[in-house]
Amino acid sequence: MQYFVYDVFTDTPFGGNQLAVIPDASGLSDADMLTIAREFNFSETSFVLPPENPAHTARVRYFTPTRELPFAGHPTIGTAIMLSDLGGGEDMVLELGVGPLVAKAKDGAASFVTEYPLDIKGKPDITLVARAMGCSPDVILSQPVLASLGGDFVFAQVKDRKTLSKLSPNLDAMREGSALFPGNHDFAVYPWVDEGDVIHARMFAPLDGTPEDPATGSAAAPLVALLCKWRGKPVDITIHQGDDMGRPSRIELKAEPGRVTVAGKAVKVMEGRLTV
């Protein structure tokens, strides 16, 4: 069974976020997919299947090492670019767990549009979120928010880039948060710093098997939707993530009420065959 590995939200090999893609996952069971995702041990592995609607391009399923996700950002960008690299058309519709998603891919760059409604699911206590990130509450500038565009994340704005770099997650606090706010991520926290048209961010999801993620499109998308809501106008920003891991990533985002566009690049770094 063929596989590819792409580095996503970068045009530089060994930067960005790693993604394994199985371009033909026909015949694999749910248990097989989870086992393969655990073997790669990336934040997500993408499994491409024939579409249920023949007018669409493909059905795609995303697995972390611990569970299936209905939606994920860097796998969508990476999978779209892989399909383009294999000779697919520029315009595509991918069937995901959140429904059909319109995407475009050409020459190592891709974008997708989500009109999935922004869901604000809760407001975790600021002290709990501070403990989960390994900082004091006074460096968090506003009430943290648990929000989703298909993936659940806790968003916490911190005061500056230096503070962001020093954060270190606390598993006990994250377990408390996961018990209080169950979702399709186990209290995944996305701290961020606002620099206007540039956002610096990190993402911690150790209970999901990802101590830190170098690029998280499924978190970037609800953050930009929140910024659009809070600022009361369309937003066009770049998120810098992964710098503190040595895997710099750049996520391009635009948001208007009810609509978010996520864009980025990806580069293939490996290919081979699985023996299953």
Per-residue pLDDT tens for 221-240?
999 999 999 999 999 999 99
Q: List pLDDT tens digits, range 132-170.
A: 999 999 999 999 999 999 889 999 999 999 999 999 999
Distance CA 231, CA 131 (A): 28
For residue 205 the two structure tokens come to 């999801």
What is the chain's mean pLDDT, rounded? Answer: 95
Q: What's the pLDDT score for residue 106?
A: 96
Q: What is the CA radius of gyration of the chain?
A: 18
| pTM score | 0.92
Residue 159 per-residue DSSP state: S
Q: What's the pLDDT score for residue 183?
A: 84
- Residue 44 bears catalytic tag: yes
Amino acid at 83: L
Distance CA 49, CA 236 (A): 33
Count CB-CB contacts under 10 A for residue 42: 21
> Which among 44, 176, 212, 252 is annotated as catalytic?
44
- The residue with greater pLDDT, 40 or 72, is 40
Phi, psi torsion values for 171, nearest 5 degrees = -65, -40
Percentage of the chain modeled with pLDDT above 90: 89
**Mean pLDDT computed over 105-117:** 94
Arch. (CATH architecture) of 2-114+263-273? Roll (3.10)
Could you check whether 2-114+263-273 and 119-257 share the same CATH topology? yes
Residue 99 per-residue DSSP state: E
b/e code 200-226 from CB counts within 10 Å (16+ = b): bbbbbbbbbbbebbbbbbbbbbbbbbb
**Mean pLDDT computed over 31-57:** 96
Phi, psi torsion values for 224, nearest 5 degrees = -70, -30
* In the predicted structure, residue 184 carries a pLDDT above the cut 90: no
Q: What's the pLDDT score for residue 209?
A: 83
The angle, 0 to 180 degrees and rounded to 10, between the axes of the packed helices 217-231 and 73-85 is: 120
SS3 at position 180: helix
Q: What's the pLDDT score for residue 156?
A: 98
Beta bridge partners of 111: 104, 263
Tell me, rounded to whole angstroms, the distance of Cα 50 from its chain centroid. 23
**pLDDT confidence tier of residue 83, bands split at 50, 70 and 90:** very high
**Mean pLDDT computed over 108-123:** 94
CATH tag, 119-257: 3.10.310.10
Domain ranges of the chain: 2-114+263-273, 119-257
Please report, for residues 20, 57, 119, 130, 273, the alpha-carbon distance to residue 226 in angstroms, rounded to integers and kept in the order given: 30, 30, 10, 20, 41
